[in-house]
Structure 1
Amino acid sequence: MKLFDVYPLYDVTPVSAKGIEILDDKGEKYLDFYGGHAVISIGHSHPHYVNRLKEQLDTIGFYSNSVQNPLQEQLATKLGALSHCEDYNLFMCNSGAEANENALKMASFHTGKSKVIAFSNSFHGRTSAAVATTDNPSINAPINKQQEVTFLALNDFDVFEKAIVSGEYCAVILEAIQGVGGLDEPTTEFYQFVEEKCKSNNVILIADEVQSGFGRSGQFFAFQHHGIQPDIISIAKGMGNGFPVGGILIHENIKASYGLLGTTFGGNHLACVATLAVLEVLEKDDLMANATRLGDYFKQQALEIPEIKKIKGRGLMLGLEFDFEIADLRKRLIHNQHMFTGSAKNKYLLRFLPALNITKEQIDVFFAALKTELK
């Protein structure tokens, strides 16, 4: 049997990693400034994370949600306290796409409606309703296109209001910082307007924090930069530092009932411990403050490079926009400088999504290499 060939692959085979350093099968060292799409939030093989998982494996790794699992309650308490979202309830699943599926399903249950408002250049996953709300027709199969989704421009107040007052929608789904789309953001005024209109029209506001959550923007959630309160928050990626885990935070105004949502693997013992370990490191090492400090430092360094036309993002969810497509630059950074970076739907944007405990010295190494490749 062969692998189903859906990924264009760089010719690099990582075999071990620590912090932001990765070793390949030839013994070459690479620096990871991308974290596998913002997944590696506290660094590869963080000792606290590794020890927590090992200890849990020695006791119990999995049982289904048909029995008590106190780790889920511990996680909900810790997550609520650190994120300041105590007035939400936690449902755990396995990925960001699944989180958004459950968020959209809950919105439809709650309102009795099915249409969704999403935004240009959005990315919410690759499954069913999640991919239908993703602004990329090439990854939407006919079965996905049965979903009724209206795509609107970010920050267009009039168009948004005309759509939402129709009374047809169950949900608005919005990234506070677009990931794959290219790091565009709603303004604070627009996000607050969306929140207000959702409330007055009985529409569920879903904050997609799959990539921007867990401290990456400098706040625990990126929507917290705008002073709003969503009805549902979707989470994944940096949540587990590489362990496959996702979830949604559902405001307590939305009531639960048996059978409303379900999952086999979601919230298993290892997933809970992986997420608890991430939260413990985020808190102990003050990594949200570090994301803010080093995000500011990154922007200062970027201003010194004339080829960079625009700096986008917040905290350590950042992008550098050039006046040329960056695919070749990204290849040179991998092969010549041994550095992983990211791309976006915006072909002129180089994405920078390192672990939140990155240092100034490592950022300096990145910019020295970037300058070399821009000569």
Structure 2
Amino acid sequence: MSLFNVYPLFDITPVKATDVFVYDENGTEYLDLYGGHAVISIGHSHPKYVKAISDQVAKMGFYSNSIKNPLQTELAKKLVSVSGCKNYELFLCNSGAEANENALKLASFHNQKHKVIAFKNGFHGRTSAAVAATDNAKIVAPLNAQQEVEILELGDLESLENALQKNDCCAVIVEFIQGVGGLDQSTAEFYESADALCKKYNTCFIADEVQSGFGRSGEFFAFQKFNVTPDIISIAKGMGNGFPIGGILIHPSIKASFGLLGTTFGGNHLASVACTTVLEVIEEEKLMDNVKVISAYFLEKAKNIPQIKNCKGRGLMLGLEFNEPVADLRKRLIFNQHIFTGSAKNPNLLRILPPLTLQKGHVDAFFDALKTELK
């Protein structure tokens, strides 16, 4: 049986990874500045993480959510202490798309409305409502297009209020730093006004922190730079450091009831231990402080590359924008310099999403390699 051919693949086969490095079957070392789509937060094969998962799987890997799982409770407590999001409740699932799907569904249950407002260049996943709220018509099937979604310009408060005034919107969903779309951000005025408008018109304000959460922006959540109180916060990517896990944080104004949401694998024993360990390492190794230091260093180094037109993003969720497409540059960085970077919807943008353990020496190596390939 062959694999369903939906991924264009680079001819590289990783077999091992440690911290910020990946090694292929030939023993070639690659500097990982992409982290597998911002998934690797505490570094590949972190010893504490490996031990925690190994110890847990030796005891119990899985049982259903119909029994008590103290590991979920422990995770929820640790998430509150590290994130600072007091009073929120946690529902666990398996991925970012699932997180956003459950967020949108819960919003609709809560206020009994059906329409969703999202923003241009936003990406929220590939499941039914999440993909309908994603600004990419190529991945929206006719089945998904039945969802009623209005996609607005990011930052357009007038259009947002005009849409909310119709009183049929269950949710406004926004990435505070856009990921796949190309690292664009709006202003404090927009985010704070959008939050206020949602509260005025009984609409759930959803912060999509799937990619930007868990310290990647320098704050635990990217929205925490602003004076907003999301009704629902979606999380995934870096929360498991490679183990599949997602979730939503739910404001206490939204009430639970039996059967409202559900999942088979969400919050299983291994996933819970993986995420709790990630949170412990983020705290113990002061990785959010490291993000801020390394981000400032990276952006300063970028100023010395005249071909870079613009630097986008925040923390270690960054984009280097050039005056021309970067697809060939990205390939040369991989095959000539052995450095992984990422692409975006913006063809001129090189995405930088490394493990949060990145050090200045790694940044120096990247810019030396970049200069070589730009000659």
TM, length-normalised to structure 2: 0.99
When structure 1 is superposed on structure 2, of 161-170 and 116-125 the one drifting more is 161-170
Q: Tell me how far apart the structure 2 counterparts of residues 166 and 258 of structure 1 sit (CA, whole Å).
A: 31
SS of the residue 2:59 aligns to: coil
SS of the residue 1:205 aligns to: strand
Where does 1:155-194 land on structure 2 (aligned, <5 Å)? 155-194=155-194
Shift of 1:87: 1.2
The one-letter code matched in structure 2 to 1:207 is A
Q: What residue is the counterpart of 1:247 in the other structure? A: 247
Shift of 1:160: 1.3
Shift of 1:84: 0.6
Question: 4+ runs of 1 displaced by more than 2 Å?
Answer: none
1:52 is aligned to 2:46: no
Q: What residue ranges of structure 2 are gaps of 5+ in the alignment?
A: none
Q: What residue is the counterpart of 2:324 in the other structure? A: 324
Deviation per residue, 1:44-71 (Å, 9 max, x gap):
0000100000110111110000000000
Q: What residue is the counterpart of 2:214 in the other structure? A: 214
Shift of 1:104: 0.2
Shift of 1:193: 0.5
Of all paired residues, the percent bearing the same amino acid is 65
SS of the residue 2:155 aligns to: coil
Q: Tell me how far apart the structure 1 counterparts of residues 133 and 93 of structure 2 sit (CA, whole Å).
A: 19
Q: What residue ranges of structure 1 are gaps of 5+ in the alignment?
A: none
Shift of 1:226: 1.1
SS of the residue 1:155 aligns to: coil
Q: What residue is the counterpart of 1:349 in the other structure? A: 349
Shift of 1:288: 0.6
Q: What residue is the counterpart of 2:266 in the other structure? A: 266
Where does 1:126-141 land on structure 2 (aligned, <5 Å)? 126-141=126-141
SS of the residue 1:297 aligns to: helix
The one-letter code matched in structure 1 to 2:126 is R
Q: What residue is the counterpart of 1:307 in the other structure? A: 307
SS of the residue 1:58 aligns to: helix
Shift of 1:166: 1.3
Q: What residue is the counterpart of 1:364 in the other structure? A: 364
SS of the residue 1:16 aligns to: strand
Alignment RMSD? 0.5
1:282 is aligned to 2:285: no
Q: What residue is the counterpart of 1:113 in the other structure? A: 113
The one-letter code matched in structure 2 to 1:299 is L
Q: Tell me how far apart the structure 1 counterparts of residues 357 and 188 of structure 2 sit (CA, whole Å).
A: 28
Q: Tell me how far apart the structure 2 counterparts of residues 260 and 158 of structure 1 sit (CA, whole Å).
A: 34
Q: What residue is the counterpart of 2:200 in the other structure? A: 200
Shift of 1:359: 0.3
Shift of 1:353: 0.4
Q: Tell me how far apart the structure 1 counterparts of residues 357 and 121 of structure 2 sit (CA, whole Å).
A: 29
Shift of 1:229: 0.8
TM, length-normalised to structure 1: 0.99
The one-letter code matched in structure 2 to 1:211 is Q
Q: Tell me how far apart the structure 2 counterparts of residues 288 and 26 of structure 1 sit (CA, whole Å).
A: 34
Shift of 1:168: 1.3
The one-letter code matched in structure 1 to 2:116 is V
Deviation per residue, 1:153-198 (Å, 9 max, x gap):
0111211111111111000000000000000012111000000000
- How many pairs are equivalent? 375
Shift of 1:20: 1.0
SS of the residue 1:275 aligns to: helix
The one-letter code matched in structure 2 to 1:197 is L
Shift of 1:253: 1.1
Q: What residue is the counterpart of 2:257 in the other structure? A: 257
Shift of 1:26: 1.3
Q: What residue is the counterpart of 1:144 in the other structure? A: 144
